[in-house]
Amino acid sequence: MKGCLPLVAIIAVVLLETSWFLWPRLDLALPHSPETIAAIKDYQKDPSDLKKANVSEQIRRDILHHIHHNEMLFGLMILGDVVAFYYWWKLTFKKQQPAPQKSKKGAT
C-alpha cells in the first residue's frame, strides 16, 4: 500500500493537468463579476462619464483578479509537478541494498 501512494499522486497530477488543458474556454471575452455587471447596467440606464469610469475600473479589477487567479493556478500546477516528479524519482530510482557477501569457507 505504501508503494501505491506515489503512483496515485503521479496519475492524479497528470489527470488534473490534462483535464484543465482540455477544458473548454468559454469565458474568453471578459471575466464579469457581479459588481461589473451592476456597473454596466447602471451605466446603460443613465450614461455619464462618472459611470463610464466606474465600469472601466470594475473591468480593470476583474482582469487583475483573473490574472492573479491564473498565476496561483499555474503555481499550484508547478507544485504538483514537482511533487509528482519527486515521487516518480523515488519510485524509479530506489536505493538498492547491496547483497550480503558470502564468506568463503576454507580461505584463511
> Which whole-number Å values give the CA distances from 40 to 45, 80, 92, in the listed order?
9, 39, 56
In the block, cell 473548454 appears at 24
Residues of the chain with confidence (pLDDT) below 70: 1-3, 25-31, 94-108
| CB-based contacts of 107, cutoff 8 Å, min separation 6 | none
Closest of 73, 54, 68, 63 to residue 32, by C-alpha: 63
Whole-structure pTM value: 0.61
What average pLDDT is seen over the chain? 80
What is the CA 59 to chain-centroid distance, rounded?
24
